[in-house]
């Protein structure tokens, strides 16, 4: 049988899982491989297991090379992560952004809070641990000065994997503009922190996410069986990959990119309404434009509420949770999201079984998403909202949201990985994706609106 031609491999590195997705020239997924994204809890600090990921990726590339003629590989990764490299490889491990970095003994020491630019310069909220990438870099420079002095390039995470595949360094705005403190989205330029720390020379030239950086390294082509002409594209931040397909609309919809994080993005919304204390921010889309966003760690909170034995619920389970008035109140995933200062709690009768736990987790994530959309000003009649990513696999998420927003157009894509579709679009920019957006039919539940009002009353 003749192999599909000009297929795309999307290397999708999320915080929870790593995926390789093989997509044909028409945007149809041919195959997918998946592996957990593990953190190495060893010195010098918790870090990403890039060696294990690399070995797994090479095995996957060999498999896909036998199934299709590969025209391009596109890296798509989570944000708040960078690799410090010299001409050969990493000079320090890739730090896990959830690591709470200790004070360094080096003096004189300037607290990071005194160095970071103001919010209305970067629209990057002050976040815990290493979620502001600038904090990671400042800490590494202070804690490991000898290694940091050897750094040739600071590579954002998608561009690190592109560099490993083709050897050409690059920078790209969606990762630079993802709550890093390094970028001014409204001005589309580096922040004062980069100048203050002298890091400007370490960032490679900025390239578009869709730019071919080079062809795959010859030795990797031989090792994997990929064609020598296979191009390595610059790559993109994952929630911006989910947003990409919607940016060509005359009136781009608000997008809920769902996964470990739920990120509500509202293209065209004003930036002056963003509130730093509520985990609101401006990301940069693939064209460099600032996009008002708000987020919470929805996938992780869902898992915490639903439990390890989670099973999809029936509508009767949702109705039972609403009838008994059981409320899940944020936050269940640490110091992030609009209610970062609170500890998660359940009020009312606890869920009685796995199905009710799934129902409660679903209701909670819908209410949090609805809250974020309202905070961003996505309230106009006939406004469109599209659900992307893992929550498209939840049969109740979009219908429950539609029931709360009857005057708006709620849709859900028919693929569970908007990131993979966005990666494919970078390779086939003039094409429409094979996946489509389907209108959600509002769930019919008694007391759902009153349940929301009570949740807000208890919460606020």
Q: Write out the chain's pLDDT in tens, 460 residues.
A: 568 889 999 999 999 999 999 999 999 999 999 999 999 999 999 999 999 999 999 999 999 999 999 999 999 999 999 999 999 999 999 999 999 999 876 655 678 999 999 999 999 999 999 999 999 999 999 999 999 999 999 999 999 999 999 999 999 999 999 999 999 999 999 999 999 999 999 999 999 999 999 999 999 999 999 999 999 999 999 999 989 989 988 889 999 999 899 999 999 999 999 999 999 999 999 999 999 999 999 999 999 999 988 889 999 999 999 999 999 999 998 778 999 889 999 999 999 999 999 999 999 999 999 999 999 999 889 899 999 999 999 999 999 999 999 999 999 987 666 789 899 999 998 777 766 789 999 999 999 999 999 999 999 8
Are residues 254 and 230 both part of a single domain?
no
Confidence at residue 341, expressed as pLDDT on a 0 to 100 scale: 82
Could you tell me the residue range of the domain that residue 292 belongs to? 248-459
Are residues 277 and 202 both part of a single domain?
no
Six-digit token string for 182: 């390094």
Are residues 214 and 277 both part of a single domain?
no
If we measure between CA atoms, which residue out of 288, 263, 87 comes closest to residue 172?
288
240 within some domain: no
304 within some domain: yes
Which of 206, 234, 262 is the endpoint of a domain? 234
2 within some domain: no
Q: What total of structural domains would you count in the chain? A: 2
Are residues 341 and 275 both part of a single domain?
yes
263 within some domain: yes
Contact 158, 175 (CB under 8 A): yes
Are residues 147 and 188 both part of a single domain?
yes
Are residues 185 and 313 both part of a single domain?
no
Are residues 255 and 228 both part of a single domain?
no
Are residues 138 and 269 both part of a single domain?
no
Write the DSSP assignment of 209-275 as a string of letters.
TT-EEEEPPHHHHHHH---TT-EEE--EEHHHHHHHTTTTSSSPPEEEEESSSEEEEETT--STT--
Which of 203, 234, 265 is the endpoint of a domain? 234
Question: If you ran DSSP here, which 8-state letter would residue 4 be given?
Answer: P
Are residues 207 and 255 both part of a single domain?
no
Cα 167 to Cα 34, 162, 220, 396: the distances in Å are 25, 7, 11, 45
Are residues 403 and 301 both part of a single domain?
yes
Are residues 179 and 64 both part of a single domain?
yes
Confidence at residue 54, expressed as pLDDT on a 0 to 100 scale: 98
Tell me whether strands 409-413 and 384-389 are parallel, antiparallel or unpaired: parallel
Confidence at residue 31, expressed as pLDDT on a 0 to 100 scale: 96
Residue 380 to residue 266: CA distance in whole angstroms: 12
Are residues 172 and 202 both part of a single domain?
yes
Kindly report the CATH number assigned to the domain that includes residue 14: 3.30.420.40
Confidence at residue 251, expressed as pLDDT on a 0 to 100 scale: 87
348 within some domain: yes
242 within some domain: no
Tell me whether strands 262-266 and 254-258 are parallel, antiparallel or unpaired: antiparallel
Which of 234, 263, 287 is the endpoint of a domain? 234
């Amino acid at each position: 049988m003749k192999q599909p031609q000009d297929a795309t491999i999307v290397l999708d590195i999320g915080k929870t899982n790593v995926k390789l997705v093989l997509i044909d020239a028409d945007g149809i997924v041919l195959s997918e491989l998946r592996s957990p994204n593990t953190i190495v809890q060893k010195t010098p600090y918790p870090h990403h297991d890039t060696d294990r990921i690399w070995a797994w990726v090479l095995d996957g590339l060999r498999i896909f090379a036998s199934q299709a003629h590969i025209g391009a590989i596109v890296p798509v990764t989570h944000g708040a992560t960078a690799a410090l490299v010299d001409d050969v490889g990493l000079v320090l491990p890739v730090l896990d952004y959830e690591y709470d970095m200790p004070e360094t003994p080096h003096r004189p020491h300037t607290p990071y809070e005194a160095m970071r630019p103001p919010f209305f310069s970067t629209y990057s909220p002050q976040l815990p641990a290493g979620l502001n990438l600038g904090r990671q870099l400042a800490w590494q420079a202070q804690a490991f000065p000898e290694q940091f002095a050897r750094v040739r390039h600071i590579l954002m995470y998608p561009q690190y994997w592109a560099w490993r595949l083709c050897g050409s360094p690059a920078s790209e705005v969606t990762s630079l503009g993802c709550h890093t403190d390094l970028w001014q989205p409204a001005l589309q330029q580096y922040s004062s922190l980069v100048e203050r720390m002298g890091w400007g020379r370490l960032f490679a030239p900025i390239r578009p996410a869709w730019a071919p950086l080079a062809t795959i390294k010859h030795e990797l082509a031989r090792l994997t069986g990929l064609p020598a002409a296979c191009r390595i594209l610059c790559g993109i931040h994952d929630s911006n990959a989910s947003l990409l397909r919607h940016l060509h609309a005359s009136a781009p919809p608000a997008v809920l990119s769902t996964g470990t994080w739920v990120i509500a993005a509202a293209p065209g919304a004003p930036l002056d309404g963003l509130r730093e204390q509520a985990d609101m921010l401006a990301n940069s889309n693939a064209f460099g434009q600032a996009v008002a966003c708000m987020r919470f760690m929805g996938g992780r909170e869902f898992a915490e509420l639903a439990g390890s034995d989670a099973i999809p619920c029936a509508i009767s389970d949702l109705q039972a949770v609403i009838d008994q008035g059981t409320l899940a109140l944020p936050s269940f995933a640490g110091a992030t999201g609009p209610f970062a200062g609170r500890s998660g709690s359940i009020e009312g009768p606890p869920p009685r079984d796995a199905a009710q736990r799934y129902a409660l987790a679903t209701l909670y994530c819908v209410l949090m998403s609805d809250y974020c959309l309202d905070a961003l000003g996505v309230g106009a009649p006939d406004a469109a909202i599209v659900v992307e990513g893992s929550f498209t696999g939840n049969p109740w998420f979009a219908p429950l949201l539609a029931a709360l927003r009857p005057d708006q157009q709620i849709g859900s894509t028919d693929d569970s990985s908007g990131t993979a579709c966005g990666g494919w679009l970078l390779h086939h920019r003039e094409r429409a994706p094979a996946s489509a957006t389907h209108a959600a039919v509002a769930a019919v539940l008694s007391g759902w609106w009153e349940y929301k009002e009570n949740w807000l009353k208890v919460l606020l």
